[in-house]
């Protein structure tokens, strides 16, 4: 005998099982929100460069991009709510430990970190060095607040979730997705402050995301994540490292002030090939003899610092940062020196990472 109620219940059960099956096929992605422009708001739709960062909470950020539900099962956590220029070593460690804990969970396939663009490259490199996992970790930000005309944050976030949930993004280290590009967290840096294509790497992007599909063109060669000798869960405090920016007429007293403030290493952001002014050489040699590591980086946007070129690094017992810019050299030195290193071991680390 025909029973419409029983038929309706059967159809509902079938629909529920179908939805469950569809959900099961989608990757589980956790979004950790830290603030920044991607969570910012302006006074009007015309405010694309003047606005308040870190205003929109993670739940509203996720709801503003309903397309996320089509590519992943997404949940969010509010780790912090700040503009990224206010990131400290303590905040880096707290974020890194949370990312590492999530990466160990069987029900997490990938992690997205929303972040302000000012120091996004530093956080990406820190996680690349210290979170020991093959699972995709993707940092994302935006150059315009969500309230602006032609806001870039929604698509950037969508692309980040796509990448974080993709099996083909595994074992590639920490990634950064902005402006449709997929960059290595090690290589990428912010090059301009008023364009949506603000981030690039002198060695080129790893790939692109186009209409929800990843296209890969190269892979990172330096040590990272699961192959790293560093582990954020074993680090209780980062070593104090300072950057001194060189320029014509730079006084040697800046280096002395950094050392007096407790720096275990000084990143010399030199001109050209990490050049050091003649009047600063005696001071830097003295500081090295006192136990402060001297690391030559360069303030120029591209290239890399050659060892024993411009300065006799072997003779002075200095380290060169290779192709790392000053801010990333600071991150690596802070991580490495948290456990104490000789200058020879520190140089090895700069070559490998």
Mapped onto helix, strand or coil, the DSSP state of residue 331 is helix
At which residue do the structure tokens 């607040």 appear? 145
Q: Counting Cβ atoms within 10 Å, is residue 143 exposed (0-12), middle (13-18) or buried (19+)? A: buried
Is residue 37 flagged as an active site residue? yes
- From the list 34, 37, 130, 133, the catalytic residue is 37
DSSP 107-176: T--EEEEE--SSSHHHHHHHHHHH---SS-EEEE--SS-TTSTT--HHHHHHHHHHHHT-GGGTTS-SEE
Mapped onto helix, strand or coil, the DSSP state of residue 79 is strand
Is residue 133 flagged as an active site residue? no
84 assigned binding-site residue: yes
- From the list 34, 117, 119, 133, the catalytic residue is 117
Q: Which residues contact 67 (CB under 8 A, 6 or more apart)?
A: 158
Strand order through the sheet with 265-270: 241-245, 265-270, 293-298, 319-320
State how far the Cα of 190 lies from the Cα of 159, in Å rounded to an integer: 19
CA distances from residue 320 to 36, 171, 317, 339 in whole angstroms, order as listed = 32, 27, 10, 19
118 assigned binding-site residue: yes
State how far the Cα of 67 lies from the Cα of 155, in Å rounded to an integer: 10
Question: Exposure pattern of 31-45 as b/e (b: 16+ CB <10 Å)?
Answer: bbbbbbbbbbbbeee
State how far the Cα of 270 lies from the Cα of 2, in Å rounded to an integer: 85
State how far the Cα of 16 lies from the Cα of 204, in Å rounded to an integer: 45
Residue 260 near residue 287 (C-beta atoms within 8 A)? no
Residue set of the binding site: 84, 117-118
Residues catalogued as catalytic: 37, 117
Would you list which residues are annotated within the binding site for substrate? 84, 117-118
């Amino acid at each position: 005998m025909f029973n419409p109620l029983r038929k309706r219940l059967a159809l509902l059960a079938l629909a529920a099982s179908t939805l469950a099956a569809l959900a099961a096929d989608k990757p589980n992605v956790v979004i950790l929100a830290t603030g920044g422009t991607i969570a910012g708001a302006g006074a009007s739709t015309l405010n694309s460069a003047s606005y308040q960062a870190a205003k929109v909470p993670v739940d509203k950020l996720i709801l503003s991009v309903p397309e996320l539900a089509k590519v992943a099962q997404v949940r969010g956590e509010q780790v912090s709510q700040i503009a990224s220029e206010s990131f400290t070593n303590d905040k880096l460690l707290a974020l890194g430990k949370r990312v590492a804990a999530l990466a160990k969970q069987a029900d997490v396939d990938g992690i997205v970190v929303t972040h302000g663009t000012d120091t996004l490259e530093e956080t990406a490199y820190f996680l690349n060095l210290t979170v020991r996992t093959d699972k995709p970790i993707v940092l994302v930000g935006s150059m315009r607040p969500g309230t602006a005309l032609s806001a870039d944050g929604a698509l950037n976030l969508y692309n980040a979730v796509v990448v974080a949930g993709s099996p083909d993004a595994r074992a590639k280290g920490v990634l950064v997705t902005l402006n449709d590009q997929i960059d290595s967290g090690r290589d990428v840096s912010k090059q301009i402050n008023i364009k949506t294509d603000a981030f690039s790497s002198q060695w080129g992007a790893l790939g692109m995301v186009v209409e929800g599909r990843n296209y890969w063109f190269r892979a990172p060669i330096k040590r990272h994540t699961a192959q790293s000798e560093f582990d954020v869960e074993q680090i209780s405090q980062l070593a104090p490292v300072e950057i001194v920016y060189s320029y014509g007429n730079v006084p040697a007293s800046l280096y002395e002030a950094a050392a007096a403030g407790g720096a275990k290493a000084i990143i010399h952001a030199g001109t050209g090939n990490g050049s050091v002014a003649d009047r600063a050489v005696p001071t830097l040699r003295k500081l090295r003899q006192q136990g402060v590591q001297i690391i030559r980086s360069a303030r120029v946007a591209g290239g890399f610092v050659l060892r024993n070129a411009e300065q006799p690094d072997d003779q002075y017992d200095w380290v060169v940062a290779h192709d790392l810019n000053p801010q990333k050299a600071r991150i690596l030195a802070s991580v490495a020196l948290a456990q104490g290193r000789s200058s020879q071991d520190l140089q090895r680390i700069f070559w490998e990472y």
